[in-house]
Amino acid sequence: MRVNLNKETKKQPITTKEREISSQNEVKILNLAVHLEKLTAQLSDVKGVSTEKLRNYEIKRGKNIYFPEIDEVLGIEAFTYGFNAPCE
């Protein structure tokens, strides 16, 4: 597939309704707890997944958490990338 980078693309302005939908689907930090060497962040749940479904998980190869009831994988990068990212 070839993309023409010189060609201008016209983007339509984002409507108020689209902004509302976008902000409703954003994950946000709701709370943070620090205890000894443990940092726990409570995030908003934009998917509406119940706690019971999250309690059913499998750790795969020490690198991923798999939630079979919702067919989602959470990789270790989600936890470590921010801490290991180079400073700018």
pLDDT band at 26 (very low <50, low <70, confident <90, very high): confident
Contact 58, 68 (CB under 8 A): yes
56 closest CA partner among 67, 72, 71, 70 = 67
Per-residue pLDDT tens over the stretch 27-83 = 788 999 998 888 888 888 777 888 899 899 999 999 999 999 999 998 888 777 755
Tell me, what's the pLDDT at 55?
92
Tell me, what's the pLDDT at 4?
47
- Cα(71)–Cα(21) distance, integer angstroms: 24
**DSSP code at position 76:** T
State the pTM of this model.
Answer: 0.52
